[in-house]
Homo-oligomer: A and B are copies of this chain.
Amino acid sequence: MTATADIATVVNDYIAVWNEGDQGRRRELIARTFTEQATYVDPLMSGQGVDGLDAMVAAAQQQFPGHRFELSFGPDAHNDVVRFGWTLVGIESGAAAAVGVDFATVAADGRLATVTGFLEPGAQG
C-alpha cells in the first residue's frame, strides 16, 4: 500500500471495520481507514475518532448478530468525495436487514474524514 491509500482499498477496509468482531483488529482497521478526528453519522447512530467509531460499530454488531455488511455498489469517487452502497445481510439467511448508501469526504492521505450514511426506505426485511 502506498502512503496515499487507494480509495477502493479504503472502502474495502471500511466495510471490514463493520464486520470485524475482534476489537484489536477493528481498532487497527479504523486507524487505517479514518483520520484521527473523523466523524460518522447516519439516522440511527454517530461516532468520532477511534474510540467513538469503535464503540459505535461494536453496538451495531450487538444489535445485528449473525449479519455482515457487503458492498453493493461503488466506490464511485471524484475530487475528494466518494459514495458507495452497502447491504446488511443475514449470514445464514442471505436476507437483507438494511440497505443504505454512504457518502464520504477523503483526506489528503486517502483516509476518510467524514462519512454520512443514508438508509433506503422500506429495504428492511
Contacts and interface: CB of A to CB of B under 8 A. Distances in A.
A62 interface: no
Interface string A87-125: 000000000000001010000000000001010010000
Contacts of A83: 101, 103, 118
Contact of A43 (B43, B78, B118, B121): B78
A19 B42 CA distance: 31
Contacts of A81: 41, 103, 116
Interface of A: 41-43, 46, 76, 78-79, 81, 83, 101, 103, 116, 118, 121
A88 to B, nearest CB: 18
A120 to B, nearest CB: 9
A114 to B, nearest CB: 9
A79 to B, nearest CB: 5
A76 B76 CA distance: 20
Contacts of A101: 83
A116 B114 CA distance: 13
A121 B76 CA distance: 10
A42 B118 contact: no
Given A83-B103, A103-B83, A103-B103, A76 B118 contact: yes
